[in-house]
Amino acid sequence: MSLIEKYLIGSVHHPLSCSKYPAWKKCGKFEGGSIDPKDLTHPANRGTIQHALIEQYISNQEVDEDIIQELTGDEVDGCNWVYEWVADNAHGVVLSEQNVQYVDDDFEVLYTSQLDVEWVDKDGILHIADIKTGNERNYMDQLAGYALGKMQELGVTECVCHELYSKLRKDVNYMFLYDDAKAEVDLVIAKRRAGIAEKCSYCSWCKHLESCEPVVTDVVKVAEGYSGNGLNLDSWHPSELTDPNQMLTALKVANVLEDWCKSVKHHANDMAIKQGLPIPGTKIKTRKGKQSLTDVNEAFSLSGFTPEQFLSVCTVSVPKLADIEKELTGESKAKARKSLESRLGAVIKSAKDSTFLELEK
């Protein structure tokens, strides 16, 4: 059985699962896009596999060697760090991957979730830990949900929460009192049920991005401000446009936004790199320049390769060969190109033609 079949296929989350609370706290309409369980490069899937390994460590299960083979050395080291942190800091009975649920005032199960690690310390204080395999973010609302359900189950009024970051080797901890956790969860659930959309840091992950009213409103402002024209669309979701005239307007908007995006990047680079004004949340990186040969004949002589080996990695421009043909024969460019192609036709390979729309000037 493959890793995909063992760990990534078949998991179902409760509609009000705590994992979405940080996003819903910012936008009640957030809905993450689907993740292909067969894509082992996706961060979420890699996180799931790392969680499985950590559970095996903590629960003293036999380690799945297929996981070790799939993960990078740093990912395995991160899992080891989590296990060692739990071994050093968790006391008493340590439970892993436990279900947690919260029953509301009407005695209905409001939500269920999966809790990574829990224990009660020597002073009788409840601790829960959620393992994070990515970068640090604010997950307090998610842990408020876990803490609330677990405090209700055990009949206690306080809980120490830990966010354990395997990649960063870091523990972020804080305490929730029962009433505070309930107030936080009630706020998130109310916002979710109201479904109020707001621009936030989770927009790029939301499947409603293209049709989200707050985002679209800003798109319209940018497009109209940059083009100086009024832009009236029946819908801002491309798949919903059925009128060719409306699609023409949408194409104009797309072109305007492409120009605006290029301009933003140009002026942002100028500000940060040339003017030396730091832009929060960014960092300056250097991309190595492309290498090329100044003298092909000399390069061949120095390479030590056979002619066949050297030529096998060379590419030749047909238009530039046609330019040489034109210089040698004195023919027009079109005639020189035709003459060249008639001689080299057997070894010229043409890519498939592409068809596209272009706005009329």
Select the more confidently predicted residue: 247 or 225: 247
- Asked if residue 117 lies in contact with residue 86, where contact means CB atoms within 8 angstroms, the answer is yes
Please report the pLDDT score of residue 231 as a whole number.
62
Please report the pLDDT score of residue 167 as a whole number.
95
Mean pLDDT of 344-352: 88
Please report the pLDDT score of residue 228 as a whole number.
60
Residue ranges per structural domain of the chain: 3-194, 208-274, 305-341
Select the more confidently predicted residue: 216 or 265: 265
Closest by Cα among 340, 32, 1 to 203: 32
Confidence of residue 240 (pLDDT cuts 50, 70, 90): confident
Mean pLDDT of 304-321: 92
Question: Residue type for 67, please?
Answer: I
Separation of alpha carbons 31 and 352, rounded Å: 38
pLDDT 10s digits, 134-154: 999 999 999 999 999 999 999
Residue 323 main-chain phi, psi, to 5 deg: -65, -40
Beta bridge partners of 163: 130, 172
Confidence of residue 3 (pLDDT cuts 50, 70, 90): confident
- Asked if residue 35 lies in contact with residue 45, where contact means CB atoms within 8 angstroms, the answer is yes
CA dihedral 31, 4, 18, 29 (to 10 degrees): 0
pLDDT 10s digits, 31-45: 998 889 899 999 999
3-194 carries CATH number 1.10.287: no
Please report the pLDDT score of residue 235 as a whole number.
72
Question: Residue type for 144, please?
Answer: A
